[in-house]
A and B are shown apart, each in its own frame.
Chain A
């Protein structure tokens, strides 16, 4: 049996210390060791974006990063996108635009869109489609997702404090 390594990271603003096997991906670490099942496994090889999380400000596929690589990292997952009980404008916008059907892709899309809008609040449709091309959705045809991100960007520009 493989030995375990001590890892300490800030996840959604909280210090978390845990042990992981070297072969465990960040996705497995979150889901199996830390009980955070918001990030989903759709492919486990970097092709669907369902596992998207933000590590040190960059969007990553958690299935393609090892848990042990995250020592000292600052990690944001879907569980940390809302501010307590107050939904993030992207979350509200996804609900109001009916941008989810089954919802399995939704955590990944919201995290990915947040990573974009945090850096590029003025992203237009073309930019959003380009950025979200790493996230697969099989239900919606993307129309309402792209609209939801455009609407959220609009809201965030109007009330930047909320974001």
Chain B
């Protein structure tokens, strides 16, 4: 670990076993598909086989006649008998299509039946009449004026005002500082390239699953493996027009998400089926549903021009970044234009972003959304300039690094950040200082940035009669956050980790929480926990003061001990809790924060050694080191886990993964056999170096760590492949086929 000065912590920085651990190694933990409600029916979704079509008619009579089938619902059940299906608003239209299907896999109807097999048989009996339309699958093609139009009502939002006619370009956004022409005029070296990447999936191992029960009193209960129970409640409420006060979302354990389990898919449909049948309805996706019917992350086409002076100063950057939003509007390109240069100080920049709809699934976030593809382009050009100037690629990055006070991605100056420290750690790492030898081998490096977000978090803390505390939080624990929050509470209260019991509770039982995403839970819920801890200490001071014949503000609390002014009376937190709660009256406090949008920013830097087989084109990862600024690593093992997991997802994205479409918009590889994510055989151990540059925005200096680690790998591997083969890779994935095509002209 590389650490700048930080306070001595007792609990933070240790590696306790997580509270939910035993349930998860014994098979007892309940995930989305494990919820069994008495008398529950099974629901399944019918999906469009076409990438683009008018939905003329749905006839479910044969399905309804099948023994065991209880209900069929369509978008008609959302808008009501007199509603106008053509006006079905987004996002409802993505849940059940109205008058048009916009991608293969788009949900058109759903069935509830006595079991899953009957439900699946019933799907085959639903007759749907489609009028097939030409589909557009490529982002640049979709931008052409003569492209098939997905949404007749869509007008481009642009700095010059909305487009006149319908367009597939959702928005043109600009991120510009300085004077781009003057900047390039100063440059001695200019490089320019076009890059493209394919749509990829988060690849969480647990398919979406949800159970809903619409009770006869209109109280709707939903069990779901979501990344956000509160946002899910909000979405279901909006889609179904049912008040949030009548919806309770109970989050189950969640088997991975990475941004893909923020949106609801099955929840509102299960609710409709439950309303129609009066029974609880359980739904789950199969793997093909997950690939075709949920949100992958955009494919891109990115052109960047980058210039530097001969003394190695980056001066100007220009880019045109087009991102596929899938079937409905999104904002990935807008974020891309902001993050693409965040690691560097470049005075003159202009980036145009184009968010574009295409006939593919509506895209969703996938860890640091938009940033990996942007870095794939930018970090390769950085390497090319460093090479041309004969400067070590790490030293070149250091010479141009963003730092405290330099312009951040939205124009405001950065607070204390750790990019320089990450690059320095790379320069000093055992990996970088071990020469790489042998033919067909190359080493690559790359930096990555992600904003990290704050947003709203709330927790409740109640003191138990034995002096332990219960921590009830509202964010799903996707990778150890019960532990990281309990640790921060223990640290605040000066008690042990074992004296805190952390539980994830439903939307009725705690204040509002935003998503488990944006690397925000350990950060923002950590702030809520700290707040609750302070409130608890204040409450105990109130209780101790009268017995100590003093006033609450005379009572001190330090290192877990309450003291009166002259130090003649002392009590540990636990003693005070037993005395006032165990032999007094119950005590519950809450902590609620809105930690704002920006949470301090996180940087990562990766080093990779590859070997490229000249005969097969296969790239093997020989060695990999991930470096990241965690601010303060609350539970270092889980920080390392985030870094390693991000690196390996990036390896898959770089070398293998893509949505492979035929011309009609059919995904040809919608299984884990054909959409191959890395296995244990494909990767080595991932070495980690945690850098700790405390985040000034957090009481313990924490930074979010979930996302920055997926930003560098695509570029780091491309840089390594370029050194190994002498050929720059501008398209992903760098599959054996692509390598052979580009290095030997073999098609």
Task: Give me the interface of A with B, judged by CB distance under 8 Å.
Answer: 1, 21, 23, 28, 31-32, 35-48, 50, 77-79, 81-82, 87, 91, 94-98, 100-107, 110, 128-130, 132-147
Contacts and interface: CB of A to CB of B under 8 A. Distances in A.
A46 B15 CA distance: 35
Contacts of A105: 205, 255
Interface string B309-324: 0000000000000000
A106 B27 CA distance: 8
B123 to A, nearest CB: 16
A78 B27 contact: yes
Contacts of B253: 102-104
Contact of A103 (B33, B255, B635): B255
Contact of A139 (B20, B28, B115, B645): B645
Contacts, number: 186
29 contacts: A37-B27, A40-B31, A40-B33, A40-B206, A42-B255, A42-B672, A47-B672, A96-B17, A98-B15, A98-B640, A101-B480, A102-B255, A104-B31, A104-B205, A104-B255, A105-B205, A130-B681, A132-B680, A136-B672, A138-B205, A138-B645, A139-B479, A139-B641, A141-B648, A141-B686, A143-B685, A143-B686, A144-B641, A144-B644
A81 B26 contact: yes
- Size category of the binding interface on chain B: 35 or more
Nearest to A93: B25
B638 interface: yes
Nearest to A110: B25
A77 to B, nearest CB: 7
Given A37-B30, A95-B21, A103-B29, A42 B478 contact: no
Contacts of A31: 33-34
A37 B679 contact: no
Contact of A136 (B30, B31, B33, B679): B679
B25 A106 contact: yes
Nearest to A79: B27
Contacts of B22: 87, 91, 95
A102 B26 contact: no
A98 B641 contact: yes
Given A37-B34, A136-B677, A142-B648, A79 B205 contact: no
A6 to B, nearest CB: 19
A89 to B, nearest CB: 11
A37 B33 CA distance: 9
Q: Is the interface of B mostly helix, strand, loop or mixed?
A: loop
A144 B18 CA distance: 15
A105 B204 CA distance: 10
Interface string B466-482: 00000000000011100
A141 B645 contact: yes
Given A37-B30, A137-B680, 9 more contacts: A32-B116, A35-B36, A87-B25, A91-B26, A101-B645, A102-B253, A103-B25, A136-B205, A144-B641
B735 to A, nearest CB: 19
Contacts of A110: 25
A127 B663 CA distance: 42
Given A1-B67, A102-B204, A139 B680 contact: no
Contact of B206 (A21, A100, A102): A102
Interface in B670-715: 671-673, 677-681, 683, 685-686
B17 A21 contact: no
Nearest to A80: B27
B25 A144 contact: no
Interface in B486-541: none
